[in-house]
Amino acid sequence: MISEPELTGGPGEEPAEVIADPAAGALSGGPGRRPWVWAVGGAVVASALWGAGLRLWDAQHGGGPDLHGYVLGDSPCAGGTLGPLTSALHATDTAVIAPTAARLGKALDQARCTLEIYAPDPQTGSLDRFQVSVAIDLHKRTDPRREFEDQAGLDPQTLTPAVAVREVAGLGDEAVAQTVSRQREELHVLHGGAVFSLTLTGYAAGAVSEDTLGALHGGPRTAASDVARFEPAMVGAMRNVMKGQQKTAR
């Protein structure tokens, strides 16, 4: 579960009220919504006024995209959540180098964490290092679909096109796997108002730079410099990440 998350408010806004359940270790929002009561002088309000009141309530407190039961809960970098990926890499050791940080906002709940993995390269015998970064964004007021589709296929760091982009079936509403470089593979999933991202980066021990690898026209490949082949394991890990954030899954 998320342990002592870092909670921050957005600029210029009041921080959302947050309650941490020490027994469950999960994060939850503030007190439940109070029922909308619409009455004047004890009389039953006319249907027109009632409808207007409901529309006002919906505009202020709801009407956002369907989150499909997702809430920030289990840490995606803890336990066996990323097990399919660590198994595929034949990991000998793992360490959480960026513990899960979470932020609960009025319009957006976010979580981030990074796991470091060490694994022997079967070709070179050296110990390669990998980093797996997980990002979760739960959009509570606006639908992120257009933004998701607009950013698909772009390297988020350089804003240049990815080397290869593939649609992945069976994950959320839309899922895209993209090869940013031989050393970085990303998987992005949209499910209603929830956006999940998983990034695998390889650091081969003693490996040459990416520019040199390109100049060699497909020269020496190691597990850490050819991470696209771990896409199926990333899909398995992503399924676990998504399941760990659903209330109905607990």
Band of pLDDT at residue 221, cut at 50, 70 and 90:
low
Tens-place pLDDT, residues 129-171: 999 999 999 999 999 999 999 999 999 889 999 999 999 999 9
Tens-place pLDDT, residues 91-143: 999 999 988 899 999 999 999 999 999 998 877 778 899 999 999 999 999 99
Angle at 156 between CA 154 and CA 159, to 5 degrees: 60
CA torsion 203→190→161→157, rounded to 10°? -50
Residue found by looking up tokens 């870092």 in the block: 6
* 123-162 burial: b if 16+ Cβ within 10 Å, else e: ebeeebbbbbbbbbbbbbeeebbeebeeebeeeeeeeeeb
Amino acid 61: pLDDT:
47
Q: Of residues 249 and 153, which shows the higher confidence score?
A: 153
- Over its C-alpha atoms, the chain yields an Rg (Å, rounded) of 22
The token pair at 149 is 């589709």
The token pair at 37 is 């009561």
Return the SS3 of 43.
strand
Helices (DSSP H) in 107-144: which residue ranges? none
Q: Of residues 63 and 160, which shows the higher confidence score?
A: 160
